[in-house]
Amino acid sequence: MNYRLPIWFRQELPDSISLSQLAEFNRDQVNTVCREAKCPNIFECFKDSQMTFMILGNTCTRNCRFCAVQKKSQNQPLGIDFKEPERILEIVRKLKLKYVVITSVTRDDLVDGGSSVFAKVLDTIHKFNKNIKIELLIPDFQGDISSIRCVLNARPDVAGHNIETIERLYPDLRPEGNYWRSLEVLKKIKELCFELITKSSIMLGLGEKDFEVRQAMQDLKEASCDIITLGQYLAPSQSHYPVKEFIAPKKFLEYKEHALALGFKAVLSGPLVRSSYKAESVFKEFHYA
């Protein structure tokens, strides 16, 4: 990396508990977005037995310029690991998790976008313990309503879909994505299941303007989004989209206050915040709002 992180990114060194948790995940052959996306909070979260499981493999069919997850090469065959739900359940069981977050790579090569696998994972966990809360962070499924319905029928407690950035930057950052389609996914979730909590996230420091961030928040509110998280973008490598600006903690606080004024029920905003960071705490905050 060719930039120096501001002082507010300083973190404690990982302890033996965090390192052993990470080593255990490597042995158990379970993918987490924490590891695959090189999340800066990985040791903090693993120490607290918090993680985001990533299903449908570790290779994505899209080419977002900000993401560290492995990209599909031309003609590379991608399969489905049908033992994945059971392996995830084993970790849930072992760590006695009461709140589980599940996301996936985007699988445009699958007819249903992998929605049936999401449903299978939820069903597997619910059969073990129906009281476990499950938060999903889903891809856009290319806007396919049947795929969205399939996921919702599995009864998650939270359904998230990230817009990631402002509309203007989509062609550069998410060439295969569509800003308005992502908003439509959130709208459809509410239309199909009004009582379900919806959630989205925005990365900052990509070259967006203040008014564009506020407009994106407004767009999310109009899409009936309940929870929003905002965090600082950090380039995974020099080959990824470069950081344009480091947003000060004070500005993140301003955005939080603005989001609450717009009517979001829960907001997490700060340099190290990621979409699933402290997900259980944010879920509880929503219910206390």
Using pLDDT thresholds of 50, 70 and 90, give the confidence band for residue 20.
Answer: low
Give CA 176 to chain center in angstroms: 18
Give, in degrees to the nearest 5, the angle at Cα 75 between 39 and 60.
Answer: 20
Other C-beta atoms within 10 Å of 166: how many? 23
* Tens-place pLDDT, residues 109-154: 999 999 999 999 999 999 999 999 999 999 999 999 999 999 999 9
Whether the pLDDT of residue 103 is over 80: the answer is yes
Mean pLDDT of the chain: 89
d(CA 164, CA 34): 17
User: 261, 217 in Cβ contact below 8 A?
Assistant: no
d(CA 60, CA 78): 9
d(CA 23, CA 17): 10
Identify which of 12-16, 34-38, 40-44, 148-152 has the greatest average pLDDT.
148-152
CA atoms in the 13 A half-sphere facing the CB of 53: 27
CA distances from 120 to 13, 83, 174, 185, 195 (A): 37, 10, 28, 21, 22
More confident residue, 78 or 98: 98
User: 30, 88 in Cβ contact below 8 A?
Assistant: yes
* Tens-place pLDDT, residues 4-15: 788 887 766 656
Run of H or E including 9: none
Output the pLDDT for position 244: 96
d(CA 33, CA 58): 9
User: 99, 48 in Cβ contact below 8 A?
Assistant: no
Output 250-253 pairs: Cβ under 8 A, ≥24 positions apart.
252/204
* CATH architecture designation of domain 7-288: Alpha-Beta Barrel (3.20)
Taking the CA atoms of 107, 111, 115 and 121 in sequence, report the sign of the dihedral they define: negative
User: 70, 60 in Cβ contact below 8 A?
Assistant: yes
Output the pLDDT for position 162: 98
d(CA 95, CA 108): 32
User: 150, 193 in Cβ contact below 8 A?
Assistant: no
Whether the pLDDT of residue 22 is over 70: the answer is no
Output the pLDDT for position 188: 98
* Tens-place pLDDT, residues 166-225: 999 999 999 999 999 999 999 999 999 999 999 999 999 999 999 999 999 999 999 999
- pTM comes to 0.90
User: 85, 120 in Cβ contact below 8 A?
Assistant: yes
Domains in the chain: boundaries: 7-288
What average pLDDT does range 150-164 have in this prediction?
Answer: 98
Output the pLDDT for position 42: 62
More confident residue, 31 or 85: 85
Output the pLDDT for position 289: 59
Whether the pLDDT of residue 18 is over 60: the answer is no
Whether the pLDDT of residue 90 is over 80: the answer is yes
Output the pLDDT for position 79: 87
Output the pLDDT for position 288: 74
User: 81, 116 in Cβ contact below 8 A?
Assistant: no
Radius of gyration of the chain (CA): 18
> At which residue do the structure tokens 């303007």 appear?
209
By percentage, how much of the chain surpasses pLDDT 70? 85
Per DSSP, 277 falls in state T
Select from 43, 62, 161 the least CA-distant residue to 106. 62
- For residue 284, the one-letter residue type is K
3-state secondary structure of 116: helix
